[in-house]
């Protein structure tokens, strides 16, 4: 008798445990009735595709380009491929072309800067997740806003080739790095040389400059001897749901984006929503974040 009760209790606990796990692992999710993926990239609410009503507002309505022959569906942000959206961190990852300048013994061959303007209000280049990086042996690289009124630079020099290993420090020989200013909404990146790669163009014809996601940047992906050929880098963009302060947003309950059991969080550009401690789910979707009572039960 006791054993029977104990066994059924155990069964219930196991069931609760699996439900709790399912809730905890549930992806952020799209608005009901809306497609939650473009190609293999998840599109969680407050973002949306296909229909303007699938997104919280116009600024978060994204373009999913239709597949075209062998080209699979692609999620686009401006004209750049969007690779990942995180509701938890209020960020996303896009892929952008690198800036470069190339030389041979006779001098400059080509020079391509990179200019991006996120005029759409709720986006900034993440200063905490990105690191500005330059690759080259005669390379002075520069990053700023489009108007070139604030920014940073780094210089990398070498007189012989160095191999860029993942544990190399990118501290100025073959590779240099620096952080970017907070709140950048446009980007102007260019690389130039001090001596036209004189005496080094055999092993290093080009200098490169780009922003890179700290978490995925690998120096070993780059070769000093490489020529540009569609080289891209992953860049982290921070987003907010609206460019208002929490106080301003909460003043109008019908337009406030955060659902039940959430906190409002500000980053200087606007606000976004987070589940309260101990709650999980998509903080922008009704009915809001869910308490993890089951999770707590199953852990006892
Ligand atoms: C998504 O698709 C692209 C190309 O279709 C592929 O290169 C990439 O590895 C895929 N990513 C994941 C996480 O499956
Ligand atoms: C999406 O991109 C396509 C191709 O670039 C363009 O024709 C279309 O107007 C865009 N749609 C939206 C909603 O921006
Ligand atoms: C997006 O990022 C999350 C967490 O960083 C990761 O688990 C997931 O695999 C990524 N998805 C793609 C398509 O890169
Ligand atoms: C450098 O490149 C230019 C343009 O492609 C070419 O005309 C010139 O011959 C090259 N010089 C050398 C020394 O390779
Ligand atoms: C590079 O510079 C160092 C220090 O001046 C020198 O010892 C080395 O021989 C130089 N290498 C080449 C290939 O010129
Ligand atoms: C970097 O890694 C390589 C091989 O993985 C190793 O031989 C080398 O000693 C490491 N260098 C430093 C500075 O840790
Ligand atoms: C680099 O090349 C340009 C023309 O291609 C020339 O005007 C300049 O003087 C050169 N600079 C150096 C340091 O050799
Ligand atoms: C290139 O090498 C020559 C011969 O070694 C040397 O005289 C010259 O100063 C070097 N130029 C530069 C810019 O390093
Ligand atoms: C740029 O991409 C091409 C093609 O993938 C590669 O051969 C080249 O080495 C890359 N450039 C650098 C500097 O790594
Ligand atoms: C509150 O938000 C709603 C929906 O966006 C809007 O129609 C209304 O005008 C706003 N009210 C005020 C006082 O701003
Ligand atoms: C949410 O706000 C409460 C009260 O301000 C705070 O104690 C809590 O740490 C916040 N939780 C998160 C996840 O930010
Ligand atoms: C909050 O929860 C209540 C009751 O569970 C529900 O009626 C309401 O729609 C939720 N509010 C939002 C904004 O999801």
**173 contacts 162 by C-beta, under 8 angstroms:** yes
pLDDT of 275 over the 60 cut = yes
pLDDT digits (tens, 9 = 90+) for 173-230: 899 999 999 999 999 999 999 999 999 999 999 999 999 999 999 999 999 999 999 9
Of 40 and 298, the structure prediction assigns the larger pLDDT to: 40
**Nearest by Cα to 155 from 131, 169, 130, 136:** 136
Ligand 12 centroid to Cα of residue 263, in Å, is 15
pLDDT of 62 over the 50 cut = yes
User: Residue 41: CB within 6 Å of ligand 3?
Assistant: yes
- The predicted structure's pLDDT at residue 162: 87
Which pTM value belongs to this model?
A: 0.85
Domain limits of the chain?
30-77, 93-239, 242-300
53's tokens: 């009503």
* Residue 38 to residue 11: CA distance in whole angstroms: 39
pLDDT digits (tens, 9 = 90+) for 278-297: 899 999 998 889 886 665 55
- The predicted structure's pLDDT at residue 25: 45
Tell me which ligand sits closest to the C-alpha of residue 173: 5
Ligand 8 atom 2, closest CA: 199
Helices and strands (H, E) in the chain, number of each type? 3, 21
How many other C-beta atoms can be found within 10 angstroms of the C-beta atom of residue 151?
18
The pLDDT > 90 percentage for the chain reads 70
Provide Rg for the chain, Cα atoms. 24
* Residue 250 to residue 248: CA distance in whole angstroms: 6
* Residue 139 to residue 243: CA distance in whole angstroms: 38
Ligand 1 atom 13, closest CA: 40
- So what's the architecture of 242-300 in CATH? Ribbon (2.10)
**Nearest by Cα to 173 from 191, 197, 155, 199:** 155
User: Strand, helix or coil at 20?
Assistant: helix
User: Residue 105: CB within 6 Å of ligand 8?
Assistant: no
Give strand ranges (E) for 51-113.
Answer: 63-65, 74-77, 80-86, 91-97, 99-104, 107-112
Atom of ligand 6 nearest to the CA of 167: 1
* Residue 202 to residue 106: CA distance in whole angstroms: 12
**146 contacts 117 by C-beta, under 8 angstroms:** yes
How many other C-beta atoms can be found within 10 angstroms of the C-beta atom of residue 186?
15
Tell me which ligand sits closest to the C-alpha of residue 111: 7
* Residue 156 to residue 24: CA distance in whole angstroms: 46
């Amino acid at each position: 008798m006791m054993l029977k009760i104990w066994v059924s209790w155990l069964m219930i606990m196991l069931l609760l445990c699996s439900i709790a796990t399912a809730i905890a692992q549930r992806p952020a999710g799209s608005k009901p009735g809306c497609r939650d993926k473009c190609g293999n990239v998840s599109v969680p609410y407050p973002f949306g595709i296909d229909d303007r009503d699938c997104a919280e507002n116009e600024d978060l309505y994204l373009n999913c380009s239709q597949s075209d022959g062998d080209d699979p569906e692609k999620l686009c942000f401006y004209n750049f491929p969007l690779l990942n959206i995180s509701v938890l961190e209020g960020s996303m990852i896009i892929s952008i072309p690198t800036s470069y300048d190339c030389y041979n013994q006779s001098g400059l061959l080509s020079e391509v800067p990179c200019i991006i303007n996120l005029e759409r209000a709720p986006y900034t280049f993440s200063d905490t997740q990105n690191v500005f990086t330059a690759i080259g042996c005669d390379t002075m690289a520069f990053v700023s806003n489009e108007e070139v009124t604030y920014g940073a630079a780094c210089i990398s020099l070498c007189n012989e080739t160095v191999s860029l290993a993942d544990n190399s420090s990118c501290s100025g020989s073959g590779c240099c790095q620096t952080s970017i200013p907070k709140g950048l909404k446009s980007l102007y990146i260019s690389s130039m040389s001090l001596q036209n790669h004189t005496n080094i163009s055999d092993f290093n014809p080009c200098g490169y400059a780009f922003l890179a996601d700290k978490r995925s940047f690998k120096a070993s992906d780059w070769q000093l001897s490489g020529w540009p050929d569609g080289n891209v880098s992953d860049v982290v963009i921070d987003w907010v749901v609206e460019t208002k302060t929490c106080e301003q947003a909460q003043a109008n309950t019908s337009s406030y984006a955060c659902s039940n059991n959430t906190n409002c969080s500000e980053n200087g550009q606007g606000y976004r929503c987070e589940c309260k401690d101990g709650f999980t789910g998509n903080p922008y979707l009704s009915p809001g974040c869910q308490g993890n009572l089951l999770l707590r039960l199953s852990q006892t």
